[in-house]
Amino acid sequence: MTKAPRRLALGIRAQLLLVLTVFLAIPWLGYEYVRELERFLRDAQERTLAGTAQAVATALHDRPRLFEVTPAPGQALSTERAPDAVPSSVPRVAPPPPAAPSRSPDIEQIIQGLSRTSARIWVVNRDLDVLARAGSLKGVRTAASADETLPRAWQWLDRELLHPLYSLVLAQPTDDFDEEQGGRILLPAREIDGALSGILTIERRRTPDGKAIIVSAAHPIWVGDQVRGAVIAEETTNAVLAERNRAFERLFSIVLAALLIGSLALTAFASRLSSRIRRLRDEAEAAIDEQGRVRSLVAPSGAGDEIGDLSRSFSSVITRLAQYANHQQNMASRLSHELRTPVAVVRSSLDNLRASSLPDDARVYIDRAQHGLNRLTHILTRMTEATRLEQSLGQEYVGERERFDLAVVVAGCVDGYRVAYPARSIELALTGGEVPVEGAPELVAQMLDKLVANAIEFASGDAPIRVTLTRDGERVNIAVDNEGPPLPAAMAGQLFDSMVSIRSDQGDEPHLGLGLYIVRLIAEFHGGSVAARDRDDGRGVVVVVTLPLSSAAA
């Protein structure tokens, strides 16, 4: 069986994995979802900050006394060196505010109570003097803590492999930012402007070093209907970022795990499928050889699925094919067997007829009938020859192999053929020396009979039939060649099959196409093979039987 040309050879496994890439859309969907979540969190953060600013402002409304402290000159927020410039390694809680810069201890006291972790609150007057300040921007715990309920291996994987990967993709919130520029904290000018003109203003801005985003909300402080100052509540987006990252990591990890497990399961499934299919293919290919003969049967699978069905139908097809081939092979034998009885009727009737008193001209017809009957009998005998040989190869000869000299057998046979076919000269070329072969010499003689009879039948011209014996390593070749028409290419593989004949003209002898089949049977019985090819000069055909030499060679 020939395999289909390999165009794009994708196995079932590869195809399934290809289909699996569709699921890569899931992380993208997750990413979209997480971004939505982030927007939502930001809105919430802004509202919270606004609320904080409003709450602080509410506490400071209509208390003009609080704003009566005159700030020292040059202490404006916009130019002043930030008093709380904190070293980069930050403690987790907001540092206690340094005592010195507070202009208004009363306000300080009020906002102290309102301050939240991770938020910073300023209170400024209309001159942008910082009246009070509480809290710090740096205090959010950003490190995502590992979930202790997960298995240890997953934790390790998460820590060692996934986290670095996420860090590449996602911006990690960090406290290691620097909001100073030129040694000063810049005033969130627009918010303050907005607030001082009496409007709650929410803005977000990037720190000068770009490492963090600060959201600030400014609320005016009213005394009567005058804006006397503003409350600014600030916070980094770190908390939101951390939340977003955690959500994303979790989602991504779960999807990754699901994909991984899914791929493994699918790969295993596909491997099993393709191995079953491959096994079936191998069995199907092994079942029939190059000549189309059924060599072995496919054992039907017990599986209940489609592949099991396929295996079972393969098995039944092969079995039916084997039955058909068997039927075909035995047809000659059975046909001859069936014909024997009517032939016996005719023969015994003719014999009886001959014994009775008949006119002389009737005897002519009896003789003709007898002649035809003899030919018929001969045909019947030939038809059973192959079957009988198969039977005896299976039973009689199995235990009866002997070691014999092939050269002697071939030489003897060729002598016989010279007597039997006086019209055709037969050349013999031996290797010289003993050619030990294990087997049945009478079968080899029978094989030679067929080979030489075949060669003589196809021989044309006066060229002799050549029988050549050559040793080739551990094997011996018996070649019989004759001058004559070349082999028909279409029949090359079937020449040695039962009931195959390439003769175009029908002569006197019956041609059942069993001769070369018998040659093959005998060659195979001896562990050898037979092949026919056109002669190198193209003017004839040579049939070569290759037999193994006896391993117990002297």
Partner 1 sequence: MSRRIAIVEDEPAIRANYADALKRLGYEVATYADRKSALAALSTRLPDLALIDIGLADDIDGGFALCRELRALSAGLPIIFLSARDSDFDIVAGLRLGADDYVTKDVSLPHLTARIAALFRRGDLLSAPPSVEDVIERGPLRVDVKRLTAYWTGQRVDLTLTEFWMVHTLAKYPGHVKDRNALMRDANIVVDDSTITSHIKRIRRKFLSVDPAFDCIATVYGMGYRWNAKEA
DSSP string, 460-473: -SSPPEEEEEEEET
* C-alpha triplet 449, 452, 454: angle, nearest 5°: 105
Shortest reach from residue 494's CB to partner 1, in Å: 24
Q: Residue numbers of the site for partner 1 (CB under 8 A)?
A: 337, 340-341, 343-345, 347-349, 351-352, 355, 377, 380-382, 384-385, 387-389, 391-392, 395-396, 408-410, 412-417, 419, 441-442, 445-446, 448-449
Those residues whose C-beta lies under 8 Å from the C-beta of residue 369, and which sit 6 or more positions away, are: 346, 350
Facing residues of 129 across strands? 76
CA-based R_g, the chain, Å: 52
Shortest reach from residue 547's CB to partner 1, in Å: 15
Closer to partner 1 by Cβ: residue 442 or 524:
442
In terms of DSSP bridges, do strands 426-429 and 465-472 run parallel, antiparallel, or are they unpaired?
parallel
Shortest reach from residue 293's CB to partner 1, in Å: 23
- 144 HSE (CA, 13 A, CB side): 23
Shortest reach from residue 541's CB to partner 1, in Å: 22
Shortest reach from residue 388's CB to partner 1, in Å: 6
Closer to partner 1 by Cβ: residue 150 or 345:
345
- 165 HSE (CA, 13 A, CB side): 11
361, 310 Cβ separation under 8 angstroms = no
Those residues whose C-beta lies under 8 Å from the C-beta of residue 532, and which sit 6 or more positions away, are: 487, 492, 495, 496, 516, 541, 542, 543, 544
Alpha-carbon torsion angle 161, 163, 167, 172, nearest 10: -170
Closer to partner 1 by Cβ: residue 84 or 405:
405
Closer to partner 1 by Cβ: residue 107 or 444:
444
Closer to partner 1 by Cβ: residue 101 or 515:
515
Shortest reach from residue 412's CB to partner 1, in Å: 4
Closer to partner 1 by Cβ: residue 126 or 340:
340
Shortest reach from residue 457's CB to partner 1, in Å: 17
Closer to partner 1 by Cβ: residue 96 or 412:
412
Closer to partner 1 by Cβ: residue 89 or 395:
395
Q: Is 39 helix (H, G, I), strand (E, B) or coil?
A: helix
Shortest reach from residue 390's CB to partner 1, in Å: 10
Shortest reach from residue 428's CB to partner 1, in Å: 11
Closer to partner 1 by Cβ: residue 256 or 445:
445
DSSP state of 512: -
In terms of DSSP bridges, do strands 402-405 and 436-439 run parallel, antiparallel, or are they unpaired?
antiparallel
134, 108 Cβ separation under 8 angstroms = yes
CA distances 519 to 325, 383, 393, 479, 532, Å, are 19, 15, 13, 12, 11
Shortest reach from residue 502's CB to partner 1, in Å: 23
325, 293 Cβ separation under 8 angstroms = yes
Shortest reach from residue 507's CB to partner 1, in Å: 19
300, 316 Cβ separation under 8 angstroms = yes
525, 439 Cβ separation under 8 angstroms = yes
Closer to partner 1 by Cβ: residue 137 or 389:
389
Closer to partner 1 by Cβ: residue 412 or 486:
412
Closer to partner 1 by Cβ: residue 161 or 429:
429
Q: Which residue has the tokens 């820590």?
A: 159
- 403 HSE (CA, 13 A, CB side): 9
Shortest reach from residue 330's CB to partner 1, in Å: 12
Token couple for 474? 């551990």
Give the orientation angle of helix 441-458 with respect to helix 406-420, to 10 degrees.
40
Shortest reach from residue 337's CB to partner 1, in Å: 6
CA distances 48 to 202, 233, 244, 464, 506, Å, are 11, 10, 18, 114, 109
Closer to partner 1 by Cβ: residue 200 or 445:
445
